Amino acid sequence: MSEISKALQYLSKADFPNHVHFLAASSLVAAIDNVELNNIFNSGISLCDSGPLGAVLRRKIPSFCNIRGSDFLREIIRIDDGTKGHFFLVPHVTIYDSLIEYASGINPKFKFVGSLTPDFAKDFHKDYLRWEFEINKSGADFVWVGVGSPKQDYIAHDLNNATGKTCIAIGAALQFVSGEKAEAPKWVQALYLEWFFRLLNDPRRLASRYTIGNFRFIIQVAKFLMQANKTT
């Protein structure tokens, strides 16, 4: 069974509507000192979107699967029967337009019902009521949130509570699928070096996440493996 099939099978058994999060190593690091974020991950549905993190977790759970957010979205677009509406929160409207163009060539049934491009230069919490109104008016069943972690994780959680829709914190996957941002080649992904590829392409935004963050991740992995060895 493919990783995508495992993820879809897992989701089919989960409670919906809900908030869904694709966790990378940086998500684990961010949640270490943040009780609220940790609770968000634990209260919703968390999938692993990280080769290194998935490899570590399989040491403890051999059947564990991880799936990249972009692969998941591509599969959802491919199999969607057109009965559900999909709403997107994206950094730029061109991403939404490019997603429509991509989906039209894969599955014309996939139903886009609207998008928002939040202005995060200001206190975005003040915009929640407007977002809630727009999402409910659109008839959306799913809300895809791709505005950067951990911000998007708070938004997915809060909008799920406010609208009763399934809200998916999907991150840069929207930009990868739309073609707005370069995606790491398969061989780079296989070597668990996608983080390095992304760092080279966006050093200003990702430098601290992938330097300090990776160092903290390695420390947590060492603690995890030591604990796992003690219990085996």
Beta bridge partners of 46: 21
What is the tens place of the pLDDT at every residue in 21-54? 988 777 777 887 789 998 998 899 888 887 766 6
User: Which H helix or E strand runs over 112?
Assistant: strand 111-116
Q: What is residue 43's three-state secondary structure?
A: helix
What is the tens place of the pLDDT at every residue in 209-221? 666 655 566 665 5
**Cβ atoms of residues 112 and 86 within 8 Å:** yes
Domains, the chain, ordered by start: 3-184 (3.40.50)
What is the tens place of the pLDDT at every residue in 161-179? 999 999 999 988 999 999 9
Closest CA to 110 of 119, 118, 102, 122: 102
pLDDT at 12 over 80: no
Closest CA to 117 of 71, 161, 175: 175
pLDDT at 232 over 70: no
What is the tens place of the pLDDT at every residue in 50-96? 776 666 666 655 555 678 899 999 999 999 999 999 999 998 999 99
Overall average pLDDT of the 122-126 stretch? 72
What was the pLDDT predicted at 169? Answer: 95
User: Which H helix or E strand runs over 68?
Assistant: none
Per the structure block, which two tokens stand in for 112? Answer: 């886009």
